[in-house]
Chains A and B, each alone.
Chain A
Amino acid sequence: MRAAVKAGAHTVYCGFADETNARNFPGLNFDRDEMGEGIKFAHDHGAQVLIAINTYPRAGSEALWHRAVSDAERCGADAVILADLGLLAYAAKHHPGLRRHLSVQAAAANADMLNFYASEFGVKRVVLPRVLSVPEIAAINAETEVETEVFVFGGLCVMAEGRCSLSSYATGESPNMNGVCSPATHVEYHEDHGALSAKLGGYAIHQVGADEPAPYPTLCKGCFNAGDATGHLFEDPVSLNAEKLIPQLAKAGVTALKIEGRQRSRSYVAQVVRNFRAAVDAQAAGLPMPEGMLARLTEGQAATAGAYKKTWR
């Protein structure tokens, strides 16, 4: 958080160190005391903090998620990012003064949906799912007062977020229920006759030469056979980089650009944030965009603009 704030992020989003957020990985996230300190640091430096409580509360255990919302307010968070209908209703009723954003995990993909969440739960901002093209985002913004936020750099969900149980089918742990996708505890690498294969939950979904860099076996970016074809049938092992689309996204009426900073090193976060801040400032000042500074930071060295370009579909 400190690295992101110092590098010029206007806002930082993060989560508590438990299953209430969709990046529930060991060593990540904040306990309650750290969160309070982090928010104070951010506020002292003129930045805001949003707390993601964006998994789907488990039946019988909703109190854990309710407590996270209360603690977020107590820690001084500027907003909470929620996905679950029941949790939105709870927060709107019991914490009306706490600003509510809709998580990408709710996959609200059209203006009717944004307006629905605004009128039902007082949602002020929606993080859009990565299934929309830039013209579609512009059309949504033309039909709603709700602010929109879009991912511009980092991981790329190929499936509509919050609506994918590939991971729990193969490993038993899912983004919606556990805040986990394709967990490392279920990954095995095998070297055989000069080839390195990667399995997730026992399913072989990657193979490279032993001296090649092995991408992490994320399910939707695995290599599969179907019909006569073999390949990355869902998506290549790429990550999202929409830096070149900043002017179009600004013109489309997007309020905030989102960089995936969790599960990343401090130096990565600092460099990506610094570059995007420079680009956003240049855009605001009517100057040309700085280009191509981020290529080395993308996964597997390959990047895509994803669904923002309509042909991706």
Chain B
Amino acid sequence: MELTVGANQFFWTADDWSAFYASIAAAPVDRVVLGEVICSKRLPFYQDRIPAAIEALLAAGKEVAVTSLALITLKRERKQMAELAEAGVEIEVNDLTALAFLPKGTAFSVGPLVNVYNEGTLAWLADRGATRICLPPELPLASVAALAAEGAARGVVIEVWGHGRLPLAISGRCYHARLHKRTKDNCQFACEDDPDGLSVRTLEDQPFLAMNGVQTLSDSCASMAHQVEALRTTGVGALRLSPQIGDFGALCQAWRDRLNGTLDGAALAAKLTDLSGGMRLSDGFLTGARGADWSGEDTRKFA
């Protein structure tokens, strides 16, 4: 099973961004998706760093793809997509708008924010040129198994959200701006203060969600630590690790150890909790009654 580092969902300074991808070049992962997926206003701050990062990752033997935005509405964003399609790098489609710009037959991959729920959709995307699909995190194991089988029949690698805060929703409205009583057009980049997202708690102060500009994430960190064997059995080809602050290289190594069999699920979960500063883990979308549930032993404080 391969490891993919997904596109960073958060707004980091250009220097932090560059340092992160420099560390990923040395990390034991197979594939890296980079670029801006959440907010087009963030891109100018680090856009000029992208070519060098791609070059370094390729030199380190990684496969590299560049993501589309998740929600494309503005003229400037459509133009960005058109330019991306012409750049000659593999594109990970996270809004179907990107497909409108890709000539038929161009190979591309599909990210977790495109709704691939069934065989018919997978088949249509495969015919169109999809070679890899990271499934929406919401899918239960039975759907993952059916889609992995369909993917195998059509030569499409199936990837599953393996680690990281879950992308639960995307909006036209910026919640960080709203929190600071600003409009989106005058957001003053409030999301930059929360490089892992801002925790959103219930009225009983129970951690629940996290806001990240126009995106809403889970408070919990999804983790397939206990699901590796089940996913392997279905034929899933890769796990996606979503960037977060902290020692991400060590996190990648822990996952590699888990896939190699030198670390078991419980040991990995304990390690991830440590590396994530005590974040709660979840894997309920795959096997639980609901997304927030966790199949492991200790972190289930909120069932």
Contact = CB atoms under 8 A, between A and B. Distances in A.
A163 B216 CA distance: 11
Given A87-B120, A207-B203, A169 B198 contact: no
A58 interface: yes
A276 interface: no
Interface stretch (B15-23, B240-248, B286-294): B286-294
Contact of A166 (B172, B216, B289, B303): B216
A55 B178 CA distance: 30
Which of A85, A139, A220, A223 has the most chain B CB within a 10 Å cutoff? A85
Contact of A86 (B121, B146, B303): B121
B125 interface: yes
Given A62-B120, A165-B168, A169-B166, A158 B206 contact: no
A268 interface: no
A227 B71 contact: no
B222 to A, nearest CB: 10
Task: Tell me the dominant secondary structure on chain B's binding face.
Answer: mixed
Interface in B266-294: 284-285, 288-292
B137 interface: yes
Binding site of A, secondary structure by majority: helix, strand, loop or mixed? mixed
B202 A224 contact: yes
A206 B184 CA distance: 26
B262 interface: no
B264 interface: no
Contacts of A202: 302-303
Given A169-B166, A226-B211, A86 B124 contact: yes
Given A109-B72, A113-B96, A163-B169, A227 B117 contact: no
Chain B interface residue count: which class? 35 or more
A293 interface: no
B91 to A, nearest CB: 15
A176 B207 CA distance: 25
B199 interface: yes
A100 to B, nearest CB: 15
Contacts of B96: 85, 108, 113, 116
Given A131-B71, A171-B290, A311-B183, A226 B172 contact: no
